[in-house]
Structure 1
Amino acid sequence: MKKFGRILWSAVFFLVVAQAQQLPPGPQALASNTFADAHRMQLVQFFLDFAPGAWTPLHTHGGVGFISVLEGTMTVKEAGKTTAYKAGETWIEHPGTAAEVGNATQAKARLFVSFLLPKGAALTLVVPTATAGQTLPPGPTTLYQNRFEEVNLPMQFDLVQVVLEFAPGTWTPEHTHGGLGYATVVEGSILVRAKGGEKTYRPGEGWVEIPGEYAVVGNPGSTKAVVAVTFLLPKGASLTITR
Structure 2
Amino acid sequence: MTQPTTTTTPTPIQSLRTAPAVILLCPGQGAQTVGMGKAWADKYPAARETFQQADDLLGFKLSDLCWNGPEEELIRTDNAQPAIYTTTVACYRALASEGRFPKVAAAAGLSLGEFTALHLAGAFDFETGLKLVRLRGQAMQEAASSVASGMVALIGSDEAQARLLCQEAIQGDEVLVPANYNCPGQIVLSGHLTACERSLKRAADMGDQGSAAQGGRGVSFPDHETCRRPFERGSGSGSVELAGCTCHGQRHRYLSRNQQN
TM-score (norm 1): 0.26
Compare CA radii of gyration and give the structure with the larger one: 1
Name the structure where strand makes up a greater proportion of residues.
1
Name the structure where helix makes up a greater proportion of residues.
2
